[in-house]
Amino acid sequence: MKPHKQIKDWGLGLNSPLIIAGPCSAESPEQIESICKGMIEENVIPSLFRVGIWKPRTRPGSFEGIGEEGLKWMEIVRHHLNIPVTTEVGNAGHVEIALKNKVDVLWIGARTTVNPFAVQEIAEALKGVDIPVMVKNPMNPDLDLWMGAIERMHAVGIDKLAAIHRGFSDAYDKRFRNKPNWSMPIHLKRVWEGMEVINDPSHIVGKRDGILEISQRAMNFGLDGLMIETHHDPDNAWSDAKQQVTPRALKEILQSIDFKNPME
């Protein structure tokens, strides 16, 4: 693949290690405001705010996302934190709505990366658009599928690219919600020199305990950032309640990570 722009050259004032935080799902304007205020109170302001608007749930019947309305609440984030926002898109319609609402960075979720038709549809919708795209690894440990999705973005002219390592589904693993398989992100970085990989410990661990350990390992392995799901009231979150952390816990995690001398 031809060279792409690194996070520092996305034009959003971001740098690696990139810290991304925010709720699994947007729920209400009050929720977004409480999370922002919590971050200010704890003085833990991420570089990029994440929020799920369309939620691809494994089983039907659970909360499937608030939809476009939630994107209007991103103004609350801009007002309080003055940072860019990112959301997940799963089809061309989502892309159109996200662009209309001035989302700064898009990401492609693990359940979408597995489907080249869906990825290609998103790519076509992004033709001629200058926006950074982060691609999560597919549910299954298939490096080609992950790389293929990134290549499909690049092929339509998206050159602001990063990968997200969120672990791989494994029905037999009791410890992790999604097994990290560290060799995958490490291999991706080796094959594509300069491809930054953000670690998502929240979806790897699936619960609050262990997020620090996985985050530190990611830094030890030379990954380029962290995406940590953060909610002011995690136990009552509408999705991924077990794994979200409060702004205070986020601060404690970030303060405990050795970013400078990760191997020590």
By the criterion CB under 5 A, which residues form the site for Mn ion?
24, 240
The residues, ordered by sequence, that sit 6+ positions from 42 with a Cβ below 8 Å of its Cβ are 247, 248, 250, 251
Does residue 136 touch ligand PEP according to CB under 6 A?
yes
Locus of tokens 């992100």: 185
Q: What is the number of the residue whose Cβ is closest to Mn ion?
A: 24
Give residue 250's Cα distance to chain centre: 15
Residue 231 contact partner, candidates Mn ion, ligand PEP, none, CB within 5 to 8 A by sort of partner: none
Does residue 110 touch ligand PEP according to CB under 6 A?
yes
**Binding ligand PEP by CB under 6 A: which of 17, 90, 109, 201?**
109
Residue 110 contact partner, candidates ligand PEP, Mn ion, none, CB within 5 to 8 A by sort of partner: ligand PEP
Both structure tokens of 247: 């702004």
Residue 166 contact partner, candidates Mn ion, ligand PEP, none, CB within 5 to 8 A by sort of partner: ligand PEP
DSSP state of 48: E
Span of 59-67, 103-111, 124-132, 217-225 interacting with ligand PEP by CB under 6 A: 103-111
Residues in 4-43 that interact with ligand PEP by CB under 6 A: 24
Q: Rounded to 10 degrees, what is the CA torsion of 200, 201, 203, 208?
A: -140
Q: How far is the CB of 262 from Mn ion (least distance, A)?
A: 25
CB closer to Mn ion out of 34 and 202: 202
Does residue 84 touch ligand PEP according to CB under 6 A?
no
Counting residues that bind ligand PEP (by CB under 6 A) gives: 8
CB closer to ligand PEP out of 94 and 203: 203
Does residue 94 touch ligand PEP according to CB under 6 A?
no
Q: Judging by beta carbons within 10 Å of its beta carbon (0-12, 13-18, 19+), is residue 236 exposed, middle or buried?
A: exposed
Task: Give the residue among 197, 182, 146, 184 at the shortest CA–CA distance from 6.
Answer: 197
Locus of tokens 């619960």: 207
The residues, ordered by sequence, that sit 6+ positions from 232 with a Cβ below 8 Å of its Cβ are 31, 34, 35, 37, 38, 246, 247
Binding site for ligand PEP (CB under 6 A): 24, 52, 109-111, 136, 166, 203
